[in-house]
Structure 1
């Protein structure tokens, strides 16, 4: 098993919400990926929708507070974007190259993940079997990101690293975790 911890940083041109940190861990075991995000700080300042009784696939989750990660196959331009809303909604997109050919990934009919509000923190945990899109012998590169929207409507963009002049989660050289 290959496991790594991570800490996300806000894009420098944005002011981060008060007392906010985003960290976690990610592990790969064969075709299984486990990722855990921990958002800690003054959660009452952040727009987080209450968990839905009927979580479903939804578009444009990144317009609100949304945990995201990107999976790319080493030496391939194709990659996948995973969006996970604290309300339980989700989506997965397949892209043919940098921001090109974006389509819903139909290999996933449902993504189940656990969200726990812990007062001063919010934990999101996903266990994913990605065997339908990536084979066990393929090395993957991962970008881990989060969009945070505060109660005033301001949005901050968090990532492992920011490699562009603007916040851009799709830049392949920001997929810095190798699994």
Structure 2
């Protein structure tokens, strides 16, 4: 699997995940846009952002091929969770071919943490038979832990004028 930020403007952050070998991939059925919890129970794509301001707070964005999404803020590692306000919903789409799948998401920048940020891109991939794999830019524990700040190995520089 591959994940990367395609582009970032003052208006939108565009992110893409590519999955190779999709013959057994479980794609959640279309549900229409809207906030939903526990999207990670099946195929789901995630973005974590931790502002580089010295605090342990970070944000998590879950994006589903069903077009459902979730956004949370944490005050510290896996604690102090609250829903992040999102007035304009992310735009998500998935294309599945014979050999690869592409999941694209566009998130409104105005509702996201201010750069500079450390980022983590990750995914839960479910295959037929309930088989799940957990993908991230980096894993630092024996068990996958997308919330581990050491997994936030990407970086977004300041993108707006001060």
TM-score, normalization: structure 2? Answer: 0.86
User: Aligned residue for 2:64?
Assistant: 85
Equivalent of residue 172 in structure 1, options 142, 145, 149: 149
Contact kept? 1:94, 1:102, Cα under 8 Å: yes
User: Aligned residue for 1:59?
Assistant: 37
User: Aligned residue for 2:14?
Assistant: 34
* Deviation per residue, 1:22-80 (Å, 9 max, x gap): 11321433463221111121x2312112333x232111000111111101101221111
Listed as ranges, the matches of 1:71-110 within 5 Å are: 71-74=49-52, 75-110=54-89
Equivalent of residue 110 in structure 2, options 120, 124, 131: 131
Let me know the Cα RMSD of the aligned residues: 1.7
| Number of equivalenced pairs | 154
Q: Which runs of 5+ in 2 are unaligned?
A: 157-162
Contact kept? 2:95, 2:103, Cα under 8 Å: yes
SS in 1 for 2:133: strand
TM-score, normalization: structure 1? Answer: 0.78
How far apart are residue 108 of structure 1 and its match? 4.1
Equivalent of residue 122 in structure 1, options 93, 96, 101: 101
Distance 1:149 1:98 in 2: 25
